[in-house]
Amino acid sequence: MKEGLHPSYHTVTVHCAGCGTEFETRSTAAGDTLRVEICASCHPFFTGKQKLVDTAGRVERFQKKFGKQLAERKEKQAQKAAA
């Protein structure tokens, strides 16, 4: 390999914020720890479970915006069903 051309490929510890797991992998990332929000052991695609993946309060913002409308709609539907 040519000197000073290739990024250093080294062992890094990956820390997952989603499930708190840590594992080692090899990467060219700077530093020796890699912080991720979600990993293969907690991503819904791999777990097969439905889970809310909330990034920076997006769900909260959505509910603030549409939560009232949705609740009203549900109420109307319930009234229709009861009648």
* Three-state secondary structure of 12-58: EEEEECCCCCEEEEEECCCCCEEEECCCCCCCHHHHCCCCCCCCCCH
Applying the rule CB under 5 A, the residues between 30 and 49 that interact with Zn ion are 39, 42
Report the residue from 10, 13, 19, 67 that binds Zn ion according to the rule CB under 5 A: 19
Tell whether residue 53 is a contact of Zn ion (CB under 5 A).
Answer: no
Other Cβ atoms less than 10 A from the Cβ of 42: the count is 19
Q: Minimum CB separation from Zn ion for residue 42, in Å?
A: 3
Tell whether residue 71 is a contact of Zn ion (CB under 5 A).
Answer: no
Tell whether residue 27 is a contact of Zn ion (CB under 5 A).
Answer: no
